[in-house]
Structure 1
Amino acid sequence: MRQLRSELPALLLLGALALAPFVGFGEGYVLTLLARAMILAMAAVALSLLVGGAGLVSMGHAAMMGFGAYAVVILDDARIVEAHVVLPVAILAAAGFALVTGAVAVRTSGVHFIMITLAFGQMAFFTATSLAGYGGDDGYTLYARNTVAGGRLLENKLAFHYVCLGALTASWLLCRMLLASRFGRVLRAVKGNPMRAQALGFDPYPYRLTAYVIAGAIGGAAGFLFANAAEFVAPAYISWQRSGELLFMVILGGLSGLHGALLGALGFVLLEEWLSHQWEHWRILFGVLLILAVLFLPNGLSGIPGQVAKGFRRG
């Protein structure tokens, strides 16, 4: 019963996204917005695995998405557009980058880990800007979205909505399964007290590196979907600002569970979109609201029901 209660918020969110096209949110523009939110939620869930599960606060997670997106670009330029080829390449490219950089970064922790991942992310960003053959600073426009078995399934907005929802659900289930397994228990033990975990015979390094690579692979899949959603890829997708946004989504939603990353990503994207239509200088107000959320919602958006219940009990 307790396990079902902890999973209920994520199940409700995923169920709401499944029903959204049939309850007034089926317009093309809205579906595009929800697809973007779900793709970023995928990356946020992967980052939540690192932050909440392993205590690794990465400021280079957008680079994982960038590697997946640029894999789509490079293959598109070579006229290789079949999803069953492009998607595995995108995942492997991001996982490979995570393995190489993580082999160094995971040996550190705390602020040192943050700065190393930031440095690797910026290296990826400047590498992307130097790729003149793929647009450089100006970015690259895809010829078309990737095909599925020769068909144009991903060009249908409703179908793409459910592809993104399926990918998000699979990512959440994978991360949830990992955290509930022996692997996840060791990760949390290492996060809580690395020295005690070592004394019990668990070397933190391979566990943390594995989690980092898995998060990178999920980020690569998100990058594949993001490239197809926008049909355009630019170095800005890899910038430290995007990594900061992903990290803020995780914090905004709450670190109490993976459902926080889902809620944080959806809330971040929808609030950003709504404010942009209300005021020319909306970023000022957006920043103020995010600061207030951090100050007055210590457990994130997912902690609001608990805070309300606590307030009623006091009253």
Structure 2
Amino acid sequence: MKPATLSGAPARIMIIAVLAALLLAFPLLAAATGLDYYIGVLRRIVIFALLATSLNLVLGYGGLVALGHAGFVGVGAYTVVILAERGVTSAALAWPLALAAGALAALLVGAISLRTRGVYFIMITLAFAQMLYFVFASLRNYGGDDGYTLAARPEPWPGAQPLDDSGLYWLVLLLCGVLFWLFCRITASRFGHALSGIRDNEGRMHALGYPVYRIRLLAFTLAGALAGLGGAMLAANNNFVSPSMMHWTQSATLMVMLIVGGVGRIWGGVLGALVWLALEEWLKQQTEYWHLPLGLLLILIALYLPRGLAALRWPAPRRTTGKETP
């Protein structure tokens, strides 16, 4: 008899558990092998995985091509800057406020933008993001075009010591893990199914009595909240905030990550951020023309794997008839 093999949900749970253990242990392994630099690299990948996942809620599940998502990232980052100027440097205080600021900005922008459709929605979200970009670029008290350098890493709670590289990594990993779990729960809930239904056939969902506008606005606000928190994490990761964080090209980069990973796929944002940023980091060390291979990757994905890397599956286990030879 052949030994039994794990398949389906138990196998996925085991794989996720092993990956989570490796991620948690990475700073210790990196310190022991002299690869401390890569703690920051992996931390950045985790943050962008959250940002791409937040865009996935709007684009993948809501069917809304928002080209101004980076605006909410910048709102969250500058919330941290404004609070730091007033002496508030605790992550326990600043990061929830950054999340709330991102949610409020998304609520206001979405309340107007979601009354439009198609290319008009794309352009109006782009316009709002560029407005935010120019507003923060004009704030000389917070660095203007030159950006703002934070004095130190945040402390986890008031009165504690500032986080070191490993401490910030573990905090970011924990928060992003919890938020990704919530994202999975949301997309699997009645709200998530209604949002996907509106994406597939808005007219039918409206005829069935679903509040289409309110569902989309809630999804847009949730995505903005996650983006605001991601912006606060980026500010802590870089110790620097600049208006370029909310430029439309940053929104396009998040969209590219999602396309590479898989639009509308649970793991699309995570895979896209991992592959794109890991390749970018490696190519920068190899050549100054690192943009070219990344562009070719995007073309190949669009031509041969339009559903993204998350659509790939390992081969299913062969079914047996129960008459296997010993």
Same fold (TM over 0.5): yes
Residue of 190, 198, 201 corresponding to 1:190: 198
Cα RMSD, aligned residues only: 2.2
Question: Is contact 2:30–2:39 with CA below 8 Å preserved after alignment?
Answer: no
Aligned counterparts, 1:129-208, within 5 A: 129-149=137-157, 150-154=159-163, 156-208=164-216
- Which of 258, 269, 274 aligns to 2:277? It is 269
CA deviations on 1:239-274 (whole Å, 9 max, x unpaired) are 111100111111110125221110101111111111
Q: Give the letter for the 1:225 counterpart.
A: M
Give, as a single letter, the amino acid of the residue that structure 1 aligns with 2:133.
F
- Using the alignment, how far apart are the partners of 1:78 and 1:141 within structure 2? 15
Q: TM-score, normalised by structure 2?
A: 0.88
Seen in structure 2, the aligned counterparts of structure 1 residues 6 and 121 have a Cα distance that, compared at 3 Å, is farther
Question: In structure 2, how many angstroms separate the alpha carbons of the residues matched to 1:203 and 1:117?
Answer: 22
Aligned partner of 2:161: which letter?
Answer: R
Q: TM-score, normalised by structure 1?
A: 0.91
Kept after mapping to 2: 8 A contact 1:172/1:258 = no
User: Equivalents in 2 of 1:9, 1:240: separation in Å?
Assistant: 36
CA distance in 2, matches of 1:12, 1:299: 26
> Residues of 2 paired with 1:126 and 1:283: CA distance?
27
What is the percentage of aligned positions where both structures have the same residue? 39
Task: Classify the secondary structure of the residue corresponding to 1:305.
Answer: coil
* Residue identity opposite 1:198 in structure 2: H
Q: Classify the secondary structure of the residue corresponding to 1:201.
A: coil
What letter is aligned with 1:187?
L
Residue of structure 1 in register with 2:3 after alignment: none
Sort the Cα spacing of 1:166 and 1:299 in 2 relative to 1 into closer, same or farther, 3 A.
same
Alignment gaps of 5+ in structure 2: 1-6, 317-326
Cα displacement string for residues 198-253 of structure 1 (whole angstroms, at most 9, x for unaligned residues) = 11110210000001101111111111110001000001111111100111111110
Q: 1:50-65 alignment to 2 at 5 Å?
A: 50-65=58-73
**Aligned residues of 1:13 and 1:263 also touching (Cα < 8 A):** no
State the match for 2:246 in structure 1.
238
Kept after mapping to 1: 8 A contact 2:77/2:228:
yes
185-194 vs 102-111, greater mean Cα deviation: 102-111
- Structure 1 counterpart of 2:41: 33
Conserved 8 A contact 1:130-1:137: yes
What secondary structure, in the 3-state scheme, does the structure 1 residue paired with 2:263 have?
A: coil
SS of corresponding position for 1:99: helix
Aligned residues: 308
Structure 2: how far apart are the matches of 1:9 and 1:103?
41
Matched-pair contact (CA < 8 Å) for 1:45–1:171 = no
Return the offset for 1:6: 7.5
Q: CA deviation at 1:303?
A: 2.5
Structure 1: 5+ residue runs without aligned partners?
A: 311-315
After superposition, the C-alpha distances for 1:21-55 in whole angstroms (9 at most, x for unaligned) are 35558732100001111111111111111112111
- Does the CA-based 8 Å contact 2:61-2:264 persist in structure 1? no
Give the number of the structure whose residues are more often helix, by fraction. Answer: 1
User: CA separation in 2, counterparts of 1:5 and 1:58?
Assistant: 35
Equivalent pair of 1:91/1:221 in contact (CA under 8 Å): yes
Aligned AA (1:186): A
What is the CA distance between 1:15 and its match in structure 2? 4.7
Shift of residue 77, structure 1, vs aligned partner: 1.3
Cα 1:104–1:2 shift into 2, 3 Å: farther
Instruction: Give SS of 1:225's match.
Output: helix
CA displacement, residues 165-201 of structure 1 (integer Å, 9 cap, x when unaligned): 1121122111111111111111111111111111111
Greater Cα offset, 280-289 or 200-209:
280-289
1:147 Cα offset (Å)? 1.7
Residue matched to 1:18: 24
Q: Aligned equivalents of 2:18 and 2:302: distance in 1?
A: 24
Aligned to 1:128: 136
Contact 1:39 1:168 in 2 (8 A): yes
CA drift of 1:294 comes to 2.3
Give, in whole Å, the separation in 2 of the partners of 1:34 and 1:48.
21
